[in-house]
């Protein structure tokens, strides 16, 4: 057979050299062999076409993106629940952590569901900070082809309740995106609202998506790392017990800070530096007695809680938050009491938030006592929620223990001593007392995987806790990366938390640099941002060397002041405009080189 004659007058998609190679291969093949080769090549081509087609189909039907932006874990849990529910309803859906989201392509989303919490003074959670800045800037793209829905989480006891959700919802609309359903702003008792929101969402989604009946691989894009699943969680805590409760501030300190060690032996719980521990606490008996007296209850009256009939005293001890007041609580109480002063306050937003900040629940009832039924009382209050504390230990170092650093909250109102709910309970724990605990992972506050990378740790007060864990882990790993600590507190002699440990790290050369800011040791107050400003050039050199920057502490003051001075040094030593400096810091966030754990 003359193969050349078959192709000499035909235009081919292959060049002459390829054609000659093909002819040399097939010239000695029989007719049957040529038929087999023909069928084989057809199969190869068809397989490739099918692969490409499948990819295209998957891309077309993966139309729902759930964006999770969480600070304490609630938004993440809701996002994971929503992801599973949408899958069960045969929708094709992706779940993505806001910290890992490629937000510059946000305008390519067809349907975007944002589950977001709020922290500080109405700010987005850390993992959504870069996305927030991008969307609020002039660089944000039009989103005319996107449908969206926002479920916001917050705490109504704060002035800027669910503000991050409100901001995103408003901005999406400004950019041209269309609402699937109205935004919901949920308080800490969000369970009923998320179910109502989901049912309405599901109905609207079915009207928007045609291809909602195809199977999709069950993969969770929220984190690329391998995650250990702990058997214990918020609803199923582990019964640990207290090993040590030691005050670590001086006798003349204005603060009472405790180092508490918790035994988690036999739990098989796994945690990493940067994670938090959730602790279910009990309300103080004296506080419960005060509240019952002010509303004329004995404590024996019964109420229904979680389908169980229990005494109001037991309900207040284990099921309701008695320490943090909120706008809704004041409003409900004002209506029950018919008190003119309270009724006037609830109609003035500024006065209401000031009242909430100044008067805990017990003092509101002390100043305006009224006779209530047990059921009326429980309808006013919010459910008890666990308190999260940054873990101050590395499991590689302490094994079946968890260490925490707790500031015991105490303050005076009209000569009455008041305290924080969780910290008061923790302050009274003694050796072998039981504690119901669980791990709350925080993948947005992690040491670099590369142990040669330098790190800069910036903190005030009990914000030092996760950095104790960081240093224990770096020492255990024998990490060669440099370590630099900035720490601020009122006084050196009274408030240098874990002083001996830090000095030992310095002595061994493991803590390469340490800068301390004592605000009350001299007439002129010195804060942590002042120390950062003084060391600006060296910090810039470390950043250029690839350093990771970590900030832990108060969100309202310290974290904002630190970010402001970081931008200053980027402008000064990086020779940038403020706009470029902000972009530079956002890029560090995206690269996980600027991480914050603030509260």
Which residues does the annotation place in the binding site?
70-75, 117-120, 323, 387-390, 420-423, 519-520, 525-529, 561, 599
- Residues tagged in the binding site annotation for FAD: 323, 387-390, 420-423, 599
| Cα(537)–Cα(163) distance, integer angstroms | 36
Phi, psi angles (nearest 5°) of residue 112:
-125, 120
CB atoms within 10 A of CB 73: 20
Select from 197, 166, 185 the least CA-distant residue to 81. 197
Q: What is the dihedral of CA 548, 553, 556, 559, to 10 degrees?
A: -20
Locus of tokens 């849990």: 77
Count each helix (H run) and each strand (E run) in the chain, helices first: 23, 23
SS3 265: coil
- Residues tagged in the binding site annotation for FMN: 70-75, 117-120
Determine the distance from the C-alpha atom of residue 296 to the mean position of all C-alpha atoms in its chain, rounded to a whole number: 41
Tokens standing for 289? 């007695």
Number of residues written out for the chain: 599
| Cα(390)–Cα(469) distance, integer angstroms | 9
- Residues tagged in the binding site annotation for NADP(+): 519-520, 525-529, 561
| 513-518 vs 483-489, strand pairing mode | parallel
| Cα(150)–Cα(168) distance, integer angstroms | 8
Residues 490/414, Cβ–Cβ less than 8 Å:
no
Residues 461/553, Cβ–Cβ less than 8 Å:
yes
Residues 238/232, Cβ–Cβ less than 8 Å:
yes
3-state secondary structure 58-88: HHHHCCEEEEEECCCCHHHHHHHHHHHHHHH
CA-to-CA separations, 170 to 140, 175, 453, in angstroms, rounded: 14, 9, 40
Distance separating the N- and C-terminal Cα atoms of the chain = 82
| Cα(404)–Cα(554) distance, integer angstroms | 17
Tokens standing for 25? 């291969």
* Residue 528, C-beta contacts closer than 8 angstroms, at least 6 positions apart: 458, 459, 460, 486, 487, 488, 517, 558, 561, 562
| Cα(234)–Cα(277) distance, integer angstroms | 10
SS3 499: helix
Determine the distance from the C-alpha atom of residue 558 to the mean position of all C-alpha atoms in its chain, rounded to a whole number: 19
Tokens standing for 409? 């909250």
* Residue 456, C-beta contacts closer than 8 angstroms, at least 6 positions apart: 484, 486, 539, 542, 547, 548, 549, 550
Select from 466, 439, 429, 495 the least CA-distant residue to 260. 429
């Amino acid at each position: 057979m003359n193969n050349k004659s078959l192709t000499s007058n035909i235009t081919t998609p292959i060049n002459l050299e390829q054609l000659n190679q093909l002819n040399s291969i097939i010239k000695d093949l029989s007719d049957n062999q040529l038929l087999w080769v023909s069928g084989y090549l057809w199969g190869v081509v068809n397989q490739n076409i099918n692969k490409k087609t499948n990819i295209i189909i998957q891309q077309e039907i993966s139309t729902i993106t759930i964006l999770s932006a969480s600070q304490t874990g609630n938004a993440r849990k809701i996002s994971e629940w929503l992801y599973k529910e949408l899958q069960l309803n045969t929708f094709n859906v992706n779940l993505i952590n806001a910290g890992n989201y490629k937000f510059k392509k946000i305008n390519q989303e067809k349907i975007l569901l944002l589950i977001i919490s709020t922290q500080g003074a109405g700010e987005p959670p850390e993992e959504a900070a870069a996305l927030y800045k991008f969307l609020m800037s002039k660089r944000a793209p039009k989103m005319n082809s996107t449908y969206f829905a926002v479920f916001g989480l917050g705490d109504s006891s704060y002035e800027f309740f669910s503000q991050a959700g409100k901001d995103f919802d408003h901005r999406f609309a400004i950019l041209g995106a269309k609402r699937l359903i109205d935004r919901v702003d949920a308080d800490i008792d969000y369970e009923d609202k998320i179910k109502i929101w989901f049912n309405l969402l599901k109905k609207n989604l079915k009207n928007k998506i045609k291809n909602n009946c195809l199977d999709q691989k069950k993969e969770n894009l929220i984190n690329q790392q391998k995650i250990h699943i702990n058997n214990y969680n918020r609803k199923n805590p582990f019964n640990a017990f207290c090993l040590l409760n030691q005050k670590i501030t001086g006798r003349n300190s204005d603060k009472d800070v405790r180092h508490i060690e918790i035994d988690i032996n036999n739990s098989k719980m796994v945690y990493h530096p940067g994670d938090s521990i959730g602790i279910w606490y009990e309300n103080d008996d004296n506080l419960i007695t005060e509240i019952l007296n002010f509303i004329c209850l004995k404590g024996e009256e019964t109420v229904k809680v979680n389908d169980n009939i229990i005494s109001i005293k037991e309900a207040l001890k284990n099921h309701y938050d008695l320490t943090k007041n909120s706008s809704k609580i004041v409003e409900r109480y004002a209506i029950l009491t018919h008190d003119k002063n309270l009724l006037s306050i609830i109609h003035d937003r500024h006065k209401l938030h000031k009242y909430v900040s100044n008067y805990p629940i017990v003092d509101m009832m002390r100043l305006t006592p009224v006779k209530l039924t047990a059921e009326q009382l429980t309808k006013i209050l919010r459910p008890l929620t666990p308190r999260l504390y940054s873990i101050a230990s590395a499991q590689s170092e302490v094994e079946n223990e968890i260490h925490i650093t707790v500031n015991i909250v105490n303050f005076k109102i009209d000569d009455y001593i008041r305290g924080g709910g969780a910290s008061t309970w923790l302050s009274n724990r003694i050796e072998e007392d039981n504690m119901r605990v669980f791990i709350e992972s925080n993948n947005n506050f992690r040491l670099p995987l590369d142990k040669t990378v330098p790190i800069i740790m910036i903190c005030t007060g009990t914000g030092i806790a996760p950095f104790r864990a960081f240093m224990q882990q770096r020492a255990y790993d024998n990490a060669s990366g440099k370590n630099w600590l900035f720490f601020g507190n009122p006084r050196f002699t009274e408030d240098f938390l874990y002083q001996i440990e830090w000095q030992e790290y310095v002595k061994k050369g493991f803590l390469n640099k340490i800068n301390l800011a004592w605000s009350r040791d001299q007439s002129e107050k010195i804060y942590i941002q002042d120390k950062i400003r003084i060391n600006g050039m060296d910090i810039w050199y470390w950043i250029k060397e690839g350093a990771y920057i970590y900030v832990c502490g108060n969100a309202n003051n310290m974290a904002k002041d630190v970010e402001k001075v970081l931008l200053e040094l980027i402008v000064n030593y990086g020779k940038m405009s403020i706009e470029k400096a902000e972009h530079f810091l956002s890029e560090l966030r995206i690269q996980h080189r600027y991480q914050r754990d603030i509260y």
